[in-house]
Amino acid sequence: MRLRTRRDTPGGTPGGRLPAVLLAGILLAVAACGQGGAGTGRAASQSEGGGTLTIWTDDKRAPALKAAADRFSKETGVTVRIQTVPGETRQVDFVTASQGGKAPDLVMGAHDWIGNLVRNGAIDPITMTEDQKAAFNALALKGVTFDGQIYGIPFALENVVLFRNTDLAPDAPESFEDLVAAGKRLKSEGKVSEVLAFPVGQNGDAYYGYPLYTAGGGYLFGQADDGDYDPGDLGLARPEAAEAMENFARYGEKGEGVLKRSIGTDNVASVFTGGKSAFLVGGPWFISEIQKAGIDYDISPVPGFGDTRAKPFVGVQALFVASKGPSKVLAQEFATNYFAQPDVALAFYRADPRPPALIAAFDQAKTTDEDLPKLLSAGEGGDIMPAIPAMNAVWDPWGKAIAAVVGGADPAGTTQSAAETIQSAIE
């Protein structure tokens, strides 16, 4: 497997000008193949005189799109252009391009972009039949559903898990307390120098901190009966949030010394691969690095406190149809009938190994990759990362609050301050 350095940056707000990266991006042109086959429905009739479909993605996934693009071009006579735009800026760039009349027809990105993209009128809902819906993992489909409508074609899922060095820790800990006890024993025996490799960093990381927060009884946003998040119900403003945040103090630098700001996303994997810890909280983007280090490892869910299960954020990667793209009919046709295919999903899996959202592709991939069922299992019962625009206000204040509490700040006062900052931004 190849290393995925980090999930696509969550949140973000539109701004700035259309960057020069669009001109410098890798461009794959799939030449038109004449009239080709009859095509399907409206897409075929629209493309009788040729046409162009433009898709934005990243450099790792661009080659994986080529087979679907080739097939679409052959059957419709349409030229498909695949342009690469970095994940760190793609959401902002896409909104800016949309507002400036320069939007592509389709864009690939994280599901938690949806709220912001819908608010800015940048993407359209996607119509799927019941049979098409049934072909996807239910959690993946939930991730791309916003205000009761499907806004993306999901192709992969992701969530954090607990990796363990099986030479040092043969058995998966049943609770966070068990993990700490095992790590401390190994440290006392001189076999490791860190109880746990957990990314906190100087500014904190709410994405990684979420499982421990939920295991302590906290929640982020309230949910309606249909599962939609309610920005008016901020869990961090509730009394139980301060109680949940106390665990970051208990296991922090002035507590048991398990969680440290000196370990962040930039060095957490090396702590594990360097044999300094038997345990690592991370995602599938670390697997390649672990394998290259020759570590014998296993995967299990991030353990909770006592009998309480930790809930990780579950993320979904998807393809979106631009509402202001020049070829909307073609884009819908490509998304539903060419992109949503097992061979395409497997191509993305091979390019960037994470559990495919298409059930048929997942079932095929798991026959040769024993990690996939474990990754998916670790995310079961997790919470879909909120796609509401209000989430943009959460990441920075809450992350900094987590880092402060790990460093010894008062959990109650720090949590209250973060909640007030977030609520002010939401209002």
Tokens read off for 40:
């399907």
- Provide the pLDDT for residue 99: 96
126, 111 in Cβ contact below 8 A? Answer: no
What fold does the segment set 49-158+315-384 form as a domain? D-Maltodextrin-Binding Protein; domain 2 (3.40.190)
- Provide the pLDDT for residue 113: 97
Quote the CA–CA distance of 269 and 38 in Å, as a whole number: 51
- Provide the pLDDT for residue 226: 80
Domains 49-158+315-384 and 159-312+388-426 share a fold: yes
137, 377 in Cβ contact below 8 A? Answer: no
- Provide the pLDDT for residue 142: 95
Instruction: Output the tens digit of pLDDT for each of the chain's 427 residues.
Output: 323 333 443 333 333 323 333 323 333 333 333 333 333 343 443 444 468 999 999 999 999 999 999 999 999 999 999 999 998 899 999 999 999 999 999 999 999 999 999 999 999 999 999 999 999 999 999 999 999 999 999 999 999 999 999 999 999 999 999 999 999 999 999 999 999 999 999 999 999 999 999 999 999 999 988 888 999 999 999 999 999 999 999 999 999 999 999 999 999 999 999 999 999 999 999 999 999 999 999 999 999 999 999 999 999 999 999 999 999 999 999 999 999 999 999 999 999 999 999 999 999 999 999 999 999 999 999 999 999 999 999 999 999 999 999 999 999 999 999 999 999 999 8
| Homologous superfamily assigned to 159-312+388-426 | Periplasmic binding protein-like II (3.40.190.10)
Domains of the chain by residue range: 49-158+315-384, 159-312+388-426
Q: Is 184 exposed, middle or buried (0-12, 13-18, 19+ CB in 10 A)?
A: middle
pTM (2 decimals)?
0.86
- Provide the pLDDT for residue 361: 98
288, 67 in Cβ contact below 8 A? Answer: no
CB contact set of 255 (below 8 Å; sequence gap of 6+): 249
Cα 109 to chain centroid distance, Å, stands at 9
117, 123 in Cβ contact below 8 A? Answer: yes
